[in-house]
Every structure is written in C-alpha cells, then in structure tokens.
C-alpha cells in the first residue's frame, strides 16, 4: 500500500518542472524585437526561453555594433518581423525544464501560496556593447496551487516511488511596471515527480543545496 504523505513528507524527492511557451501576444504599439520569456520557481535560478537561437541573437548584436546609428527596425530584415503575426503574436513553441530535488511537502506548502513568475524581456542591446543587456517588457504570475494539489493527490494515491506527471495549461495576461496590460501568454506547466529512492543512485547531488523542511 502506498505510504501516506505524513509518513513520507521528510524524504527527499527528485522532481522537474517543464515550462512550454505556446504563444505570446504583444500589443502592436509595444516594441519587442528579440522576445524572451524568463521563468522562476520560488528561490531556484531563473531559466530563459528565447524566441531566437543564441547564434541569431549574437549575429544581430554584431550587426548593431557595425551600424550603431541604424535602428533595430531598419537593421533586421523583414523576414524576422514576419515571424510576428499581424496582430502581434509570436509563435514560440519552445520550452525548457529544470531538474531539482527537494522535500515535496515543503514545495507543496510553498506553491499553495507563491506563484510561478514569468517575465517578458527584449534581448536587444541598443548600444551594442554588452550582449547581456535586456529590456523589461512585461510580467505575469502563474498560480500553481491547483497543479501541485493534483500532484500531491497522485503521490498519496500511488506512492512516493512511482514516476508521476501532472500538467496544466494557462492563459496569462502580461502587465508592464505601471500595471497596464500589454499582451497575453499561453503557457503549459508540467511537474514530473521521479520518486525518492532514485536519489540513492545520484550521489553527485549536493545535500547542502536542499531547502530543509520547516520545524514546528
């Protein structure tokens, strides 16, 4: 019989979060040449999902260095702007995943109250001196309380050592720093729970990086 969460809540689990960006719609009056979505789960490092490949971005910035007085709209060929539809939609169809280990009960408790943060940035560099320069366009929060509850119930039903997957799709509204709506984002989030005993075979993971459960 599967163990209850009370019995297993102090065991480390191996999990992954996968974020797939389907579409990003940006209002036509908002300039965004090289869009990139950045997501961050709790205190884990941020992960970037760029619309263009890295080699393309580097080529764009090299052109900007050679022609610093030419605007981005003039510098980039029309074929790249055609990738943005007439109503301002970018078909991302891209995603990334992040593997981590934690105490599931701690993750569960946090995600009932803290959302996933999504940032929309523009990877342009107007001065052409630093490729890491970006411009903030908008942001949104993705509530994962229902998704983590679905995973929690699956673990209670099936046990801690059965690989489990739960997924949910969201249609989010993007806002700028002034709280004005500047677009929308269609995103899918998937949690994969690989179990607890699999960590025995992964001794290279550092326990010092694991968040300890709260003690009452």
Please provide the size of the chain in residues: 216
Positions of E strands within the chain: 12-26, 35-40, 47-50, 89-103, 116-122, 135-142, 164-175, 181-195
Give the position of tokens 């971005």.
57
Indicate if the alpha-carbon torsion angle 52, 56, 58, 64 is positive or negative.
negative
> What CATH number should be reported for the domain holding residue 29?
2.60.40.150
- For 35, the 3-state DSSP assignment is strand
Q: Which residues pair with 23 in a beta bridge?
A: 91, 186
What is the span of the domain harbouring residue 87? Answer: 5-209
Per-residue tens of pLDDT for the chain, all 216 residues: 344 445 555 678 888 999 999 999 998 888 888 889 999 999 888 999 998 877 777 777 777 777 767 666 666 654 455 556 666 788 889 999 988 888 889 999 999 999 999 999 988 755 444 555 678 999 999 999 999 999 999 999 988 888 899 999 999 999 999 999 999 999 999 999 987 776 666 655 555 444 444 443
Does 216 fall in a domain?
no
Does 111 fall in a domain?
yes
Helices (DSSP H) in 3-67: which residue ranges? 5-8, 54-66
Does 215 fall in a domain?
no
Indicate if the alpha-carbon torsion angle 72, 75, 76, 81 is positive or negative.
positive
Overall domain count for the chain? 1
For the entire predicted model, the pTM comes to 0.78
Does 214 fall in a domain?
no
Alpha-carbon distance 189 to 166, whole Å? Answer: 9
Q: How far apart are the first and last CA of the chain?
A: 28
For 92-149, the pLDDT digits (tens) are: 899 999 888 888 899 999 999 999 999 999 887 554 445 556 789 999 999 999 999 9
Asked whether the beta carbons of 160 and 101 are under 8 A apart, the reply is: no
Rg (CA), the chain: 20
Alpha-carbon distance 20 to 187, whole Å? Answer: 6
């Amino acid at each position: 019989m599967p163990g209850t969460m009370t019995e297993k809540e102090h065991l480390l689990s191996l999990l992954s979060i996968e974020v797939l960006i389907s579409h990003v719609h940006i209002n036509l009056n908002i300039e965004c040449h090289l869009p990139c979505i950045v997501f961050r789960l709790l205190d884990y490092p941020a992960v970037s999902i760029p619309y263009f490949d890295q080699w393309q971005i580097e080529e764009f910035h090299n052109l900007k260095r050679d022609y610093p007085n030419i605007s981005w709209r003039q510098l980039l060929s029309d074929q790249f702007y055609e990738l943005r539809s007439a109503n301002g939609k970018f078909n991302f169809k891209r995603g990334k995943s992040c593997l981590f280990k934690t105490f599931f009960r701690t993750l569960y408790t946090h995600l009932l109250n803290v959302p996933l943060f999504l940032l929309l940035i523009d990877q342009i560099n107007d001065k052409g001196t630093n490729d890491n320069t970006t411009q903030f366009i908008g942001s949104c929060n993705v509530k994962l309380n229902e998704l983590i509850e679905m995973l929690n119930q699956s673990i209670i039903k099936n046990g801690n050592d059965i690989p489990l997957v739960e997924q949910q799709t969201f249609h989010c509204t993007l806002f700028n720093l002034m709280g004005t709506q500047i677009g929308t984002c269609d995103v899918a989030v998937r949690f994969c729970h690989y179990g607890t005993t699999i960590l025995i075979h992964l001794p290279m993971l550092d326990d010092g990086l694991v968040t300890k459960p709260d003690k009452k």
